[in-house]
Structure 1
């Protein structure tokens, strides 16, 4: 750090100091809008840095919140959310927090959750920081890999850093322990299956006579959207994920445009946001995960040879 930065560090305020502290630990940071989780810079993953001069320039300008870019920082962050009174689905019945779910997953693997750096969130959640395994590019997950109320952030994701503040309150360091290596049992659960090679997975072909293919696909979209819209608390996550997988198969088979599928699901799940702790970001992640999964198992609608 240059002498100018050292002498001016005290003028950066609490948030700027937090950003510099994270950078000194080798973590790549970038600014979020004040009191927000929204990036304040474009292309945040590329912009994220450990450069103290860039950090000082950002955080001397405004009281930005601080974000840590997980991919460049070689981090996997396990995000344990509070259930906020929502009934946990099977097999997590009785759980009230992602902490309990992760403990169950660990016990099933004959392991325990190791101590590591932990940051509490304003809404009762907990972020557990882990060093990413070498040679494996893990991505974000949303309740599908580890369980109910357990999300992860890795490549393509970021977390709000300690000392940041939102209207709901502060992000605080809950445990200053060194950042531990990601346990193998978590890494195994998060490692995606290899993408099928071209021609490896033949699409399921549904033959529709009489030129009714378009109506057939439209009926599937309508049915899945209606199921999503009607889902009650405790079933919304898996209903949305299943619907996205179904439509993803049609996208993978060139029977449905991805934007159309995504738009239909987003509209159907609009009522989820703000209920039972569900957020717009969670809806988007569930749709992304489900579509990606379904596209690996394409379903083609063949109307007299037409695709």
Structure 2
């Protein structure tokens, strides 16, 4: 930062926020004050286009909240010493953090497919699905519960020349990320009667590889045919439903479900094949959970259905089996409808 003033702001804040802000600074995170009861930065109080250069921080050009964020205790202490209502913001980029923001479904809003079909209504469940599809793991990390009931997962930004910025829905439904150009309201910030709360105080883990892969792709995996245009047929036909002994002896209902899921899997477009396989497995897994078909028969049917995608190089047989078993696990851990 160029030619810094003695303090962050002329209006400081209280002891709890000060103690926490200093703790964040000790971790190497850059902080700045938020207006009381708000997620809005306390400074600057003007936009770049309205900057007159009279603000102490703007003597050599306009500076925003990201440039004003600091980890220096001698600047933080004056900024949080007399106003207990100020919140704490963390500038993610300068703090070398990538924060994954997992939201929750708003009542009354539409749930897109395939999430509606599988009763998925939280970003946490979407992320769990994506981890299963991509054979990844959601590494335990510093975690915050937000005032809206969502979750912030703090990860250490990869040591790379790539500059991560904010995303909205690129990874998946109800999932945003904050990095350069973004910030998060942090505990003990309070909005209304709710406060941000630390639920896991361990050091930030490295960004999981599957998330790194998704963030560095130019397009996110397809979620539905409506979002991704015409579907492309698989290169290889599937074995007729019922050719396996367990499937053959199943009820008409089981045959119908299998036929629908296999057809959807075969027709999955490029970029959405992993998601389609996991979704089919999660739905067929409900039949397994109810004892209407054996897991072996269901696995065999889905692997056969995925043969065209395997031949096309969308995923390996090993990855396909992992995705299917992840879908089965998802169904087994859901309560019966």
Give the alignment's TM-score, normalised by structure 1. 0.58
Residue 167 (structure 2) aligns with = 141
Secondary structure of 2:88's counterpart equals strand
How far does the alpha carbon of each residue in 1:216-255 deviate from its partner, in whole angstroms, 9 at most, with x for none? xxxxxxxxxxxxxxxxxxxxxx99xxxxxxxxxxxxxxxx
Q: Does 1:92 align with 2:115?
A: yes
How far does the alpha carbon of each residue in 1:81-107 deviate from its partner, in whole angstroms, 9 at most, with x for none? 111334421232221110000001110
Q: Answer whether contact 1:15 1:65 (CA < 8 A) is retained.
A: yes
Secondary structure of 2:172's counterpart equals coil
Q: Does 1:51 align with 2:77?
A: no
Secondary structure of 1:76's counterpart equals strand
Residue 139 (structure 2) aligns with = 114
The whole-number CA distance in structure 2 between the counterparts of 1:188 and 1:82 is 24
Q: Summarize the alignment of residues 209-220 of structure 1 with structure 2, pairs less than 5 Å apart.
A: none
Q: Answer whether contact 2:91 2:183 (CA < 8 A) is retained.
A: yes
Q: Answer whether contact 1:81 1:149 (CA < 8 A) is retained.
A: yes
The whole-number CA distance in structure 2 between the counterparts of 1:139 and 1:191 is 11
Q: Summarize the alignment of residues 54-73 of structure 1 with structure 2, pairs less than 5 Å apart.
A: 54-63=75-84, 64-73=86-95
Q: Does 1:75 align with 2:97?
A: yes
How far does the alpha carbon of each residue in 1:53-101 deviate from its partner, in whole angstroms, 9 at most, with x for none? 1111111142310000000000000000111334421232221110000
Q: Over aligned residues, Cα RMSD in angstroms?
A: 2.2
The whole-number CA distance in structure 2 between the counterparts of 1:188 and 1:92 is 22
Q: Summarize the alignment of residues 199-210 of structure 1 with structure 2, pairs less than 5 Å apart.
A: none
Instruction: State the 4+ residue runs in structure 1 displaced beyond 4 angstroms.
Output: none
**Structure 2, gaps ≥5 residues long:** 1-12, 45-63, 220-225, 228-337
Q: Summarize the alignment of residues 182-197 of structure 1 with structure 2, pairs less than 5 Å apart.
A: 182-191=207-216, 193=218
Q: Which moved more, 1:148-157 or 1:12-21?
A: 12-21
The whole-number CA distance in structure 1 between the counterparts of 2:218 and 2:127 is 21
Q: Summarize the alignment of residues 1-307 of structure 1 with structure 2, pairs less than 5 Å apart.
A: 12-42=14-44, 43-63=64-84, 64-85=86-107, 86-93=109-116, 94-135=119-160, 136-143=162-169, 145-191=170-216, 193=218
Give the alignment's TM-score, normalised by structure 2. 0.53
